[in-house]
Amino acid sequence: MIQLSQVTKSYNGAKAVDGINLTIQKGDILGFLGPNGAGKTTTMRMLTCYMPPTSGTISVDGFDVSEQSVEVRKKIGYLPEMAPVYPDMNVVDYLQYVSALREIPIEKKSSRIKEIIGQCGLEKVLSKDIGQLSKGYRQRVGLAQAMIHNPDILIFDEPTAGLDPNQIVEIRTLIKELGRERTVILSTHILSEVQATCSRIVIINQGKIVADDSPEGLQADVAGRTVLLATLKGATSDAMSKTRSLSGVENVREFHSERGTIGLRIEIGQGKDIREDFFRLAVRESWVIFGMNQEIHSLEDVFHKLTMG
């Protein structure tokens, strides 16, 4: 659906985006992450024909953004960080206005507006001017304008900004549903939102793509090895050395645990799983396992390592 080839965007000689290559398939729900100034917004603006690339090519469903921008715009629904709404228009008038801009046929306009009002939860504010709405409801109106023409591609920049926790869950669910039939690009600084919503994550830093994988893949790559945390009762002082003798174990350290127990932090080579062998060892040694779980690197850890070193 989207292809970027050696795309660069420069401002007075400084590269905001530096020769990136990216392919996005239909049905991808892609989290597009990066620190402030990394090139996220610039990339999205080039995708949506807001600005041209300095060099390289971008195609959307086979259409070139520089040569066929009108066709590209028909394919895309875009919600920028600041929702493009008119505060002096009421919600219904605004949606009618946007549907006219999007050239929705007259015979389909009313049903489509009604459908999008339900999807975005705007029933309670239809008669209000947009300027009277809370930030959360203005964001919902922005979502409605992005989706009203039923586009194949949706690009959301901070779509849940200003929403309360219940509304955030609703928008996450909506984005997942939309991703079944469309391509969705989601840019946000709320990493838990990306982890709950996206099947793929691309991280950009200083204008270059530094990671492209599933959330689980990125976490595994950053970890480098599996860490098993075990809390034992009845273990003797030689528990560390006996655990270290298991195949696949690279290192064992003791960590603070509750009174009467021993906590072991067991580092395991990548691709190894010692849980069954460790359980059998505990049975032989008459250790009681109070807890055993794998240490998981958070997406925040991944983001920090890839963008801050």
- CA dist 103 and 73 (Å) reads 12
Indicate the pLDDT class of residue 223, thresholds 50, 70 and 90.
low
- CA dist 9 and 20 (Å) reads 10
Output the pLDDT for position 273. 83
- CA dist 276 and 197 (Å) reads 33
Q: Please tell me the chain's helix, strand, coil percentages from 3-state DSSP, rounded to the nearest 5.
A: 40, 30, 30
234 CB burial (10 A radius; 0-12, 13-18, 19+)? middle
Instruction: Domain 2-213: state its class.
Output: alpha beta
Find, among 3, 28, 20, 85, the residue nearest to 55 by Cα.
20
Output the pLDDT for position 280. 93
Which range has the worst mean pLDDT, 132-136, 176-180, 273-277?
176-180
Output the pLDDT for position 224. 58
Q: What does DSSP say about strands 200-205 and 29-33: parallel, antiparallel, or unpaired? A: parallel
Domain spans in the chain, listed from the N-terminal domain onward = 2-213, 224-301
pLDDT in tens, 150-160: 999 999 988 88
**pLDDT exceeding 70 applies to what percent of the chain?**
96
Residues pairing with 228 in the sheet = 266, 294
pLDDT in tens, 96-141: 999 999 999 999 999 999 999 998 889 999 989 999 998 888 888 9
Tell me the whole-structure pTM to 2 decimals: 0.76
Q: How many CB atoms lie within 10 A of CB 28?
A: 20
CB 124 within 8 A of CB 91: no
Question: Is 284's pLDDT higher than 60?
Answer: yes
- CA dist 146 and 80 (Å) reads 9
Tokens 């991703």 belong to residue: 179
Instruction: Determine the topology of domain 224-301 in CATH.
Output: Alpha-Beta Plaits (3.30.70)
